[in-house]
Amino acid sequence: MYKEDGNITHKSIDNIYENFTVTKGKFGQETTDSNATRIQSSELTGTFVKQTTDSNATRIQSSELTGSDSVRIRSSRSAVVCLVLLCVLLLTAVIVLCVTLTQERQQLISKNENLTNEREQLMLKNTNLTNESEQLKWEKKALKSFLGKMDGWIYYKSSFYFISSDGKSWTESRRYCTERGADLIIINNREEQDFVKNISGYAHVWIGLTDSDEEGTWKWVDGSTLNSGFWWPGKPNYYTGNEDCALSYISWWYDYSCYSAFKWICETSILHVVLP
């Protein structure tokens, strides 16, 4: 601004106007820059807000994903537990089944062995019965042959007996029996004594008992010693000193001379007939 004599010239006014314009321009530019900065700040703020929103969304999505994964994990664990329990139950069932089958197998094996043993025993019995049957057939044939040759013999208790119709000495009577595969009768019990009584009646008959080898020691013709007998009371008494042979009369025994003649009874076992 130029001042001449207290007056303002046109040049001064123009300078002021220019300065104002320049100043205004600068101010406007500064204002414009300030607005731009504000806009940029707003854009940055928006970007931050957007980023924050995206971050929150990501967090929410992450939370949602985390919850879903947790459910999946729980489901997977439950499935695994169920599968393990199922496997345990299945294994237990298999073990029980194996034990049961093993026991049943052992029982079946044992039963099979028992049946096999029973079968073998039955086969053995069958073989024995077959052999016995054949033996009986042979014995029957032998008996028929024996009975055909030996008329007058009586069968009783697995033995054959023959009572004579005439009389001989004790020695001759025994010879007659031995020539026919028999010997004078040996009386073993009361039942057999009663049988002798029945077939002899009231006849005196020689029996196979003598003490001719040693006086007082009575022995049967098979060499066995007499332990007890059916002696008539007071017998044997050795009355004449040579009563060395025994007679049976009715139900009792008597010692008598071996040289006297009496009937006799021969005896032979069925085994001697079929197995001569």
Nearest to 249 by CA among 211, 203, 184: 203
263-269 and 205-210: which strand pairing? parallel
Nearest to 268 by CA among 155, 144, 192: 155
Nearest to 265 by CA among 204, 220, 190: 204
Compute the distance between CA of residue 220 and CA of residue 236 in angstroms, rounded to an integer.
Answer: 15
State the pLDDT at residue 75: 79
172 and 262 belong to one structural domain: yes
Taking the CA of residue 14 as centre, how many other CA atoms within 13 Å lie in the half-sphere pointing to its CB?
3
Q: Is 157 within the bounds of a domain?
A: yes
Give whole-number Cα distances, 149 to 10, 80, 144, 204, in Å. Answer: 201, 101, 9, 26
Q: Going by C-beta distance under 8 Å and a sequence separation of 6 or more, which residues neighbour residue 253?
A: 207, 209, 229, 230, 231, 232, 235, 246, 247
163 and 265 belong to one structural domain: yes
Q: Is 92 within the bounds of a domain?
A: no
For residue 239, the SS3 value is coil
Domain boundary among 71, 92, 115: 71
Nearest to 211 by CA among 250, 170, 251, 173: 170
Q: Is 119 within the bounds of a domain?
A: no
Domain boundary among 46, 71, 96: 71
Domain boundary among 71, 106, 127: 71
Q: Is 175 within the bounds of a domain?
A: yes
10 Å CB burial of residue 12 (0-12, 13-18, 19+) is middle
Domain around 232: 153-274
> pTM of the predicted model, to two decimals?
0.51
Q: Is 123 within the bounds of a domain?
A: no
Count structural domains, the chain.
2
CATH code of the domain containing 263: 3.10.100.10
Q: Going by C-beta distance under 8 Å and a sequence separation of 6 or more, which residues neighbour residue 217?
A: 211, 225
State the pLDDT at residue 15: 53
Task: Find residue 210's DSSP bridge partners.
Answer: 219, 245
Under DSSP, the state recorded for 73 is H
φ/ψ of 38, rounded to 5, equals: -60, -45
For residue 213, the SS3 value is coil
State the pLDDT at residue 2: 42
50 and 163 belong to one structural domain: no
Contact 169, 260 (CB under 8 A): yes
Q: Going by C-beta distance under 8 Å and a sequence separation of 6 or more, which residues neighbour residue 138?
A: 274
- Per-position b or e across 234-257, b if 16+ CB within 10 A of its CB: ebbeeeeeebbbbbbbeeebbbbe
State the pLDDT at residue 228: 84
State the pLDDT at residue 254: 95
Q: Is 231 within the bounds of a domain?
A: yes
State the pLDDT at residue 129: 94
Q: Is 27 within the bounds of a domain?
A: yes
158 and 56 belong to one structural domain: no
Question: Residue holding tokens 């237990």?
Answer: 92
The continuous run of DSSP H or E covering 27 comes out as helix 10-149
pLDDT in tens, the chain (276 residues): 444 444 444 444 455 445 544 444 444 444 445 454 454 544 544 544 455 555 555 554 555 556 677 777 777 888 888 989 999 999 999 999 999 999 999 999 999 999 999 999 999 999 999 999 998 888 777 777 766 666 788 888 888 899 999 999 999 999 999 998 899 999 999 999 999 999 999 999 999 999 998 888 999 999 999 988 899 998 988 766 688 999 999 999 999 999 999 999 999 987 776 555
Tokens read off for 36: 């731009």
Q: Is 82 within the bounds of a domain?
A: no
Tokens read off for 249: 């009369």
